[in-house]
Chains A and B, each alone.
Chain A
Amino acid sequence: MTILIAILSILFIVLTFMVVSKTQSILKGLDKSKKEEETYLGAADKYNDANGIGLFAFWLISIVGIIWSFMVYKKDFLPEAASEHGKVTDYWFWVSMIVIMIGFFVVNTFLFLFSYLYRHNKNRKVTFYTHNNNLEVIWTTVPAVIMAGLVFSGLRVWTKITSEAPANAEQIDIMGKQFGWTVRYAGVDNNEFGKYNFKLMDDAGGNPMGIDFSDPNSFDDFSNASEMHIPKGKPVLLKIRARDVLHSVFIPHMRVKMDAVPGMPTKFWFVADKSTADMRAELGKPEFNYEIACTEICGRSHFGMKLLLVVDEPADYEKWKKSQKPMLTENPDLLNKVPDNLKAKAQKYIDGGEVAVEEVPAEVVASNVLGNSSKVLK
């Protein structure tokens, strides 16, 4: 459909162009003095009017095309915001958009209108007009004032978004690696993260996040490489890190984006105000899921770094947390990394996990993460 319209509009322009130029050449005849034309090769030729009219015609057709395409495509613009600050940035996005669209239409209209109005005519007297300081002052001041307005609104919003997270924020450790995300929660017993160190990272030994098991706070920490759960209506603080190259946490619906930098932990806090269920109902898509993507080029499968995000009602969230198995429970071998004096304390988590732990094979995780793109990767 779009293609059809585009082709038609191109055709239309070309046709206008041809018709106008034909008319012009007929009207003009051949009464021009041949001699002058030879020495002044840059003189207006028979297509001059067509080009001038064409520019304005192009602009008129463009206006129609822009409005039409905007109406058709706007339903997918800025996927429904599901965070508190997201609604604010969306508001300012559209305010700025209106401001720049006014600028866009007005300034381009003048450009193409003047091209049309002042196309060469040998009887026209050109106005020798070199400068006008008042005009310069006006069109320096007006954009400056508009910019100032946008800057101050933007600064307020930005300062608020990047302020310190509230003390009661739910903290989540999220780590990017080639090519996937792993999240870690502080657990339900002491609600403190265990320390981590990149030197302790060990994929084969079941410690991809480099958790320091000599820190007892780590014993109840649990992790997940396919889903991140967050509570609705409660501040969530993402503590973001990367272990190999740069990555960037992008949660489109939450208006969250922050780079993950090896050696320099970053953070972003936000409040989700629509649970996954709310969003499914609102969009009428029972299959809907929030997603986390990577927006900093990180290598071959940059486009496949997906993590599902589930926004739960606070009660469900707590329930989910309780149902999660600490890393020690999931992988009892990690007990070897616990110093002897703490082994007794750690033993609790090993014993607590009598329920057979279902090992998720790596391939399943990979294909989850990559979704239907995994086929292409092979």
Chain B
Amino acid sequence: MSVVSQVEVDTHGDHSHEEHHELGFIRKYIFSEDHKVIAKQYLISGIVWAVIGALMSVVFRLQLGFPDLDMSWLKPILGEWINESGKLDPNFYLALVTMHGTIMVFFVLTAGLSGTFSNFLIPLQIGARDMASGFMNMLSYWIFFLSSLIMFISLFVKTGPAGGSWVIYPPLSALKQANPGSGDGMTLWLVAMALFIVSSLLGGINYVTTVINLRTKGMSMDKLPLTIWAFTFTAILGILSFPVLLSAALLLIFDRSFGTSFFLSDIYINGQALPNQGGSPILFQHLFWFLGHPEVYIVILPALGLTSEIIATNSRKPIFGYKAMIFSMAGIMFLAFIVWAHHMFVTGMNPFLGSVFMLLTLIIAVPSAVKGFNYITTLWKGNIIFTPAMLFAIGLVSFFISGGLTGIILGNSALDIQLHDTYFVVAHFHLVMGSAAFFGMIAGVYHWFPKMFGRMMNNTLGYIHFWITFIGVYLVFFPMHYIGIAGFPRRYYQWSGFETFNTYMDLNAFITIAAIITVFAQIVFISNFVYSIFKGKLAPENPWKSNTLEWTTPVNPGHGNWPGEIPTVYRWPYDYSKPGAPDDFIPQNVPFSATPESNLPEENELIAKEQQIQSIKYDTSIHD
């Protein structure tokens, strides 16, 4: 039960109301401290980044699918990166791959997904007026914006953006003479990432604090929607692991600019032996993956949280195994910290460590499987309404299963020897964390759009968007496993130099075509999104007949979210289609005393406690 401060409408209501009117355009929409505005800022930044990242993938997919293609027509955009004979510069190819990874993992699926929905939903679903610290929240976004700006500028540096792949392993990333992409582009990358980490930490601390302290009356932890659990676990993961990446980045900055040797040793390059000795490139990999692995859960957990909510609502059925879902997320979170070295089986790390990490890695498959099974059982004997959000949520479950299963092979160190750094890995993580998280994000946008913008998105366009994207993603990433099983290495500009990798040109061309169709199908979404913000059908308060608190706010929730008192919570969020109830949903703020016809025996006992919940007084003397 929350004991610390809570904005009480009686004491603060008038005051905040006044403030609301005084806010000018800049404080209201730009340097806003309102969690809903910040969420929208994150969402729109995320979409812009997603477009950039996706277009990059189209360029390098063209190179991989059609190595002989004349790309002169891209000269107006890419300039010198297309050479005289119309070929993509191999250095720029590496830069594209690097930036695609960085942008998608951090700027779209971390900031765009977690930033949007944690900000938007945490106060609304736990019943709070805003985040614990609105100022920190604003700071978090604007530091992210600064980071974005620097990363964007790095695209236009003369030597190109960072080009050592998103994992930026030194010595390649540390030595300017090793790769043009390790020059100024890399410096900007590191600065941008350092800022990104600061932003992410500010956000994460805020999320956790808010969930712990600002829950409304009656919102005990066991009544939290699974979304909130997911966001909380995600924030904890980020708080504990991002600083490690920051340390890695700082040490790398030292190695690059101040002549230290944390990661460098015994190097002879460009006819010169460097003085650095005693460092270890493997140390960097440990530090990197100590974030890098939790990062994939930072990306997927919020998506799974959103999916839980969407699937329950649209199946008109309680989420199956609410507690099992929480425990499996907790298990995933815990295990996420101790599996990082499975990315490093063949780095020359002690093979015994490899064994340990293989064991831990395969354990993480168990809670993941439990989540999958629970989703499917939620659908069982439900009454499914296929809103676009629901379709994307089902797509997510399918990707999570299909992509997760190949992780069982990759997590096995003996089998990883052949498959490490091949397209099998690329296919695996694009399905399980890339596409799945992307689908979670899109599902979230469709589902919460009415609360964000007070209007509905067009369903028919949503269906078209879903079908092309869903089929497209499978057509891109399923055949990619085949290429990986055949041994094709990642980050290759082309494979024709090797007889072994000279097959499958048709598959590569096919993947490229499917990728282009999938990427351009997103235009359907973006136009639907933009159009609906201004011209969409006006939304009611609770368009999906959903139980959680955000749907009890007005159509356009103002500053402070609820015009009157914050509703009190009496029940869990998944009372859908409860036997005996007149309607097929009972919102969380409906007391058991109001629903005698549908109460379970143990719930009747809770009626006695309702008075107690209502009379909770928060200590408002502590300033929020």
Contacts and interface: CB of A to CB of B under 8 A. Distances in A.
B358 A373 contact: no
B459 A264 contact: no
B350 to A, nearest CB: 9
Nearest to B419: A93
Interface in A1-52: 1-3, 6, 10, 13-14, 17, 39-45, 47-48, 51-52
B282 A150 contact: no
A14 B175 contact: no
A261 B169 CA distance: 11
B556 interface: no
B382 interface: yes
A48 B401 contact: no
A188 interface: no
Interface stretch (A69-77, A221-229, A326-334, A354-362): A69-77
Contacts of B578: 128
Interface stretch (A198-206, A212-220, A313-321, A343-351): A198-206
A131 B321 contact: yes
Given A58-B471, A252-B487, A162 B354 contact: yes
Given A140-B366, A246-B171, A161 B417 contact: yes
B348 interface: yes
Nearest to B87: A376
B523 interface: no
A76 B488 CA distance: 11
Interface in A139-171: 139-140, 143-144, 147, 150-151, 154-155, 157-159, 161-162
Given A76-B504, A128-B579, A291-B499, A104 B380 contact: no
Contacts of A277: none
Contacts of B87: 376
B467 interface: yes
B577 to A, nearest CB: 4
A100 B406 contact: yes
A118 B384 contact: yes
Contacts of A161: 414, 417
B169 A73 contact: no
Interface residues of B, number: 133
Nearest to A130: B318
Nearest to A81: B418
19 contacts: A10-B471, A13-B467, A17-B467, A39-B540, A47-B460, A54-B467, A76-B486, A76-B504, A89-B418, A93-B415, A127-B382, A131-B322, A144-B363, A147-B362, A293-B489, A296-B169, A300-B179, A303-B497, A371-B498
A47 B577 contact: no
Given A3-B513, A244-B171, A263 B265 contact: yes
B171 A126 contact: no
B273 interface: yes
Interface in B414-453: 414-415, 417-418, 420-422, 450
Contact of B494 (A13, A42, A267, A376): A376
A195 interface: no
Contacts of A178: 178, 269
Interface stretch (B217-225, B236-244, B369-377): B369-377
Given A69-B482, A293-B489, 4 more contacts: A40-B545, A110-B376, A264-B282, A303-B491
Nearest to B167: A297
Interface string B88-99: 001100100000
Interface string B72-93: 0000000000000001001100
B505 to A, nearest CB: 11
Nearest to B487: A252
Given A3-B509, A264-B265, A51 B348 contact: no
Interface string A238-267: 001001111010101101111101111011
Interface string B475-508: 1001100100111011111111111110110110
B591 interface: no
Q: Tell which of B267, B268, B323, B456 has the most Cβ of chain A within 10 Å.
A: B268
B266 A204 contact: no
Nearest to B268: A201
Interface of B: 67, 87, 90-91, 94, 164-165, 169, 171-172, 175, 178-179, 264-269, 271, 273, 277-282, 314-318, 320-324, 346-348, 351, 354-355, 358-359, 362-363, 365-366, 369-370, 372-373, 375-377, 379-387, 391, 394, 397-398, 401-402, 405-406, 408-409, 412-415, 417-418, 420-422, 450, 456, 459-460, 463, 467, 470-471, 474-475, 478-479, 482, 485-487, 489-501, 503-504, 506-507, 509-510, 513-514, 537, 539-540, 543-545, 574, 576-579, 584
A126 B366 CA distance: 29
A297 B94 contact: yes
Interface residues of A, number: 128
Given A13-B467, A76-B504, A373-B497, A124 B383 contact: yes
Interface in A297-314: 297-304, 306
A136 interface: yes
Contact of B281 (A43, A97, A263, A294): A263
Contacts of B179: 245, 299-300
A234 interface: no
A97 B164 CA distance: 32
Contacts of A240: 348
A66 interface: yes
Q: Closest 6 CB pairs between A and B?
A: A263-B265, A266-B348, A162-B351, A126-B577, A51-B386, A42-B544
Given A295-B420, A371-B498, A245 B383 contact: no
Nearest to A3: B510
Nearest to B472: A10
Contact of A303 (B385, B493, B539): B493
A302 B401 CA distance: 33
Contacts of B279: 263
A245 B398 contact: no
A96 B471 contact: no
